[in-house]
Amino acid sequence: MRKKGLKVLFLMMALALIIVGCGTKENAKEENAKKESSKNESSEVTTGASEGSSYTPLAELKDSYDIVIVGSGGAGMSAALEAKEKGLNPVIFEKMAVVGGNTLKSSSGMNASETKFQKEEGISDSNDLFYEETLAGGHGTNDPEMLRFFVDHSADAIDWLDSMGIRLNNLTITGGMKEKRTHRPEDGSAVGQYLVNGLIKNVQEKDIPVFVNADVKEITEKDDQVNGVKVQFDHKEDKTIKADAVVVTTGGFGANMEMISETNPELKDYVTTNQIGSTGDGIKMIEKLGGYTVDMKEIQIHPTVQQEKSYLIGEVVRGEGAILVSSTGERFVNELDTRDAVSSAVNQTPDKFAYLIFDSGVKERAKAIEQYEKLGFVVEGQTLAELAKEINVPDTALEATVGKWNEDVAAKSDTAFNRTTGMEHDLSKGPYYAIKIAPGIHYTMGGIKVNPETEVLTKEGTSIKGLYAAGELTGGLHGENRIGGNSVAEIIIFGRQAGIKSAEFVHSLK
């Protein structure tokens, strides 16, 4: 009896261990799923881009570098490549789990004038026209010195990218422009992921260390000169890293709704297209050192944002021929007017939303639409009447609107709203498509005041020694309104400049 009882006891214990083991495995699975979900949330901007990139292990961190670059978007990586080219030892610290920042979300392209790719297509453009159209887009409030440097160095930036295998030779047009100067990848796809993938490839080939999950908390200084940063790794380990210069390229504050509400309370209920890391960290750190801000209330609303996922629908769709209709099925604006004007027009429609309407031809030319399809934003109809039914607008009105548009395209004259660009093709190639949109927070034009050398300035007009900034965290270039395609140009042009000028400063110390 005793033996039989012991057997039963052993069987029961074994069964219990199996159950516990299974429970432990299930708990582990749940925990891993939670971790993966958290990881996905923290890096939601990175889908497809820079995944699989190998970053520098923390064990290889050094106590000092020639130049610390804070932020790994287009501006940060451009600065790092130029500093390395000047014979220095830069490092990149990125607070997110992957590189790219808001650059990853860029879709339309990069503006530049007098480029070799324009000349190949017989496009007659000039830096002066680029200057004037950008100034008009900013309502005359742009910093003239920054703008002049920007346009005059735009073609060189295109050549520099091309020299590294990042070719932007597919041309389109964006709102506020008269010429095709928005440069895209050869296949017409979204510029952001292509650009980030190309830059990180070059950064790694040059053996420039890139540390992710590296959150810079403070820029240090001694004797009125920047001398390094304090950085937190993996949300726990703090380190002080010495450097002769610091370049800040942390982006704007479009994902910081507290800062948005403080600077422009009217926008507190808008969705934002910004990646979650765009929280204004660099602006705050620089202000503590005596830097100051300009144009902080100038926050750009983008007219075509898919609201449920706060996803930007790039201007390239309109640039390749799409039109906007309200819930009545009728056009209501020049679709390629400046972003502020189009956003205002959408907000004045009966339901404060609109539909982008396009055909298979636009879809073929604007490769970014493939991504919008994958995300479930695109509604399809074999005919305009079928599409109208799908989006619940009057079919007769939609058919009449597209018919009138096609007549205007043939006549090269938009009799309703004086649109003059993006009219090379009519909308007559079925199937037809629609994307529901409304305005959303897209870009913060205000930020730290710098000069064309990217030196951070104090209110007294002096520069803070050893401190440079580039990209969306700076203010002045765009004034009250940014032209689509100018942000990508800005990060490359002034990112390069920050790398060059910080390198010159470091060399002057040696």
Strands 354-359 and 447-449 turn out to be unpaired
**Nearest to 73, CA basis, from 209, 192, 229:** 192
Is there a contact between 464 and 41 (Cβ–Cβ < 8 Å)?
no
Is there a contact between 349 and 436 (Cβ–Cβ < 8 Å)?
no
Question: Six-digit token pair at 456?
Answer: 């951070």
Q: Which residues fall within 8 angstroms of residue 411, CB to CB, at 6 or more apart? A: none
CA angle 496, 473, 231 (to 5 degrees): 85
Phi, psi angles (nearest 5°) of residue 131: -60, -50
- The C-alpha atoms of residue 195 and residue 191 are separated, in whole angstroms, by 6
How many other C-beta atoms lie within 10 A of the C-beta of residue 385? 14
291 HSE (CA, 13 A, CB side): 33
Question: Six-digit token pair at 198?
Answer: 């190309």
- The C-alpha atoms of residue 108 and residue 368 are separated, in whole angstroms, by 8
DSSP 378: -
For residue 206, give the amino acid letter.
K
Q: Strands, E, within 390-462: which ranges?
A: 432-444, 447-449, 455-457
Q: Strands, E, within 259-346: which ranges?
A: 293-294, 299-306, 311-312, 323-325
- Can 339 be counted among the known catalytic residues? yes
Can the peptide bond before residue 452 be classed as cis, meaning omega within 30 degrees of 0?
no
- The C-alpha atoms of residue 188 and residue 192 are separated, in whole angstroms, by 12
Q: What residues are paired with 238 via a beta bridge?
A: 232
Q: Which residues fall within 8 angstroms of residue 147, CB to CB, at 6 or more apart? A: 131, 134, 135, 477
Give the H/E segment covering residue 214.
strand 214-222
Give CA 73 to chain center in angstroms: 8
Coil, helix or strand for 493?
A: helix
DSSP string, 323-335: EEE-TTS---S-T
205 HSE (CA, 13 A, CB side): 10
Question: Six-digit token pair at 388?
Answer: 């109208």
- The C-alpha atoms of residue 490 and residue 469 are separated, in whole angstroms, by 12
Catalytic residue among 181, 318, 331, 339: 339
Is there a contact between 91 and 68 (Cβ–Cβ < 8 Å)?
yes
Positions marked catalytic: 339
